[in-house]
């Protein structure tokens, strides 16, 4: 966590001077119902060392905070998009066979507790396509840029009856492409889609957001939609092939 805070602090040192020239500002906060699926392992030797998030770890849907901030800058400066998404799951599970997690071999048919934290923070630099907005009289708009996602990962497995415990933590910066589309058929209503993604060396990280935004009054707006995260990684002996998906709602201001 300290490494993530340090990284975010460094980013803000470079971002805030540019943001001081912002011609537009958008701030939104809300909640996302995160539904986990897939499996994760740490220093796995056999298939039995892989832990299913639902069947073995007994994870359920979780409601978590999410927030985002966008700066629209003038001239040739790139626009800036910041987003924070805390993710945490825990539960008591049981596996019919013994399994290895890290350097520890846990006993089968014995209850164990686990927790996985997968907080991530996005920093995107993007440009709009003004010719598209002009050609469609403001109905259609697009954004294109690069995104860096910092993933703060921590996993813990412990078995109270046997006294066994293992943890793993890492901070992983993931460069991604960023693309967004917005359709505004009416002044108060907009349909928006955002995509972030990267694929390399058998790994991939895809993030998709669909949003319906309604202007309430003045700068205030309300929105709701669906968010989908598809992750396949093999980093520092951690292997994960997981998805997180579910609806979200948010409220915000756009100036």
Query: 220-254, pLDDT tens digit by residue?
Result: 999 999 999 999 999 999 999 999 999 999 999 99
User: Rounded to 10 degrees, what is the CA torsion of 121, 123, 124, 125?
Assistant: 180
Q: Is 8 left (phi over 0), alpha (psi -120 to 50) or beta?
A: alpha
More confident residue, 40 or 5: 40
What confidence score (pLDDT) does residue 173 get? 94
Mean pLDDT of 160-183: 96
Backbone φ, ψ for residue 20 (5° rounding): -65, -20
Cα distances (Å, whole numbers) of residue 194 to 133, 141, 223, 251:
17, 12, 14, 17
**Cα separations (Å) of 115 from 40, 89, 169, 188?**
12, 6, 12, 42
pLDDT for the residue numbered 131 = 87
Taking alpha carbons only, the member of 68, 93, 81, 85 closest to residue 33 is 85
Global pTM?
Answer: 0.90
The CATH number given to whatever domain includes residue 241 is: 2.40.128.90
Bridge partners for 120 per DSSP: 85, 151
Question: Which band of pLDDT confidence, cut at 50, 70 and 90, is reported for residue 5?
Answer: low
Name the pLDDT band for 73 (thresholds 50, 70, 90): confident
- Average pLDDT on 72-81 reads 87
Distance CA 133, CA 155 (A): 45
| Residues of the domain holding 11 | 2-254
Tokens 């309604």 correspond to 214
Output the six-digit token pair for 169. Answer: 């933590």
- Residues 226, 32: Cα–Cα separation, whole Å: 8
- What's the number of CA atoms in the CB half-sphere (13 Å) around residue 223? 31
Beta bridge partners of 1: none
In the predicted structure, residue 147 carries a pLDDT above the cut 80: yes
pLDDT band of 9, cuts 50, 70, 90: low
pLDDT digits (tens, 9 = 90+) for 18-28: 555 557 899 99
Is residue 76 over pLDDT 90? no
The number of folded domains in the chain is: 1
């Amino acid at each position: 966590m300290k490494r993530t805070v340090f990284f975010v602090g460094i980013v803000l040192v470079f971002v805030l001077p540019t943001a001081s020239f912002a011609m537009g500002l958008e701030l939104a906060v809300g909640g996302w119902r995160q539904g986990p699926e897939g499996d994760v392992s740490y220093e796995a030797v056999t298939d039995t060392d892989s832990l299913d998030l639902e069947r073995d770890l007994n994870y359920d849907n979780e409601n978590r905070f999410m927030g985002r901030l966008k700066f629209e800058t003038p001239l040739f400066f790139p626009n800036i998009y910041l987003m924070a998404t805390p993710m945490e799951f825990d539960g008591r599970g049981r596996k019919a066979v013994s399994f290895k997690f890290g350097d520890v071999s846990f006993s089968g048919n014995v209850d164990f507790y686990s927790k996985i934290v997968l907080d991530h923070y996005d920093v995107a630099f993007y440009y709009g396509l003004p010719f598209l907005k002009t050609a469609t009289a403001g109905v259609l708009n697009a954004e294109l840029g690069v995104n860096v996602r910092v993933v703060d990962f921590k996993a813990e497995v412990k078995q109270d009856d046997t006294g066994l415990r293992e943890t793993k933590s890492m901070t992983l910066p993931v460069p991604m492409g960023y693309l967004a589309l917005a359709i505004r058929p009416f002044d108060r209503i907009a349909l928006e889609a955002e995509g972030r993604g990267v694929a390399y060396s058998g790994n991939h990280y895809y993030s998709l957001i669909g949003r319906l935004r309604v202007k309430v009054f003045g700068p205030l707006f309300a929105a709701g939609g669906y968010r989908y995260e598809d992750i396949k990684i093999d980093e520092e002996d951690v292997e994960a092939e997981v998805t997180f998906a579910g609806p979200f709602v948010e409220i915000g201001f756009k100036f």
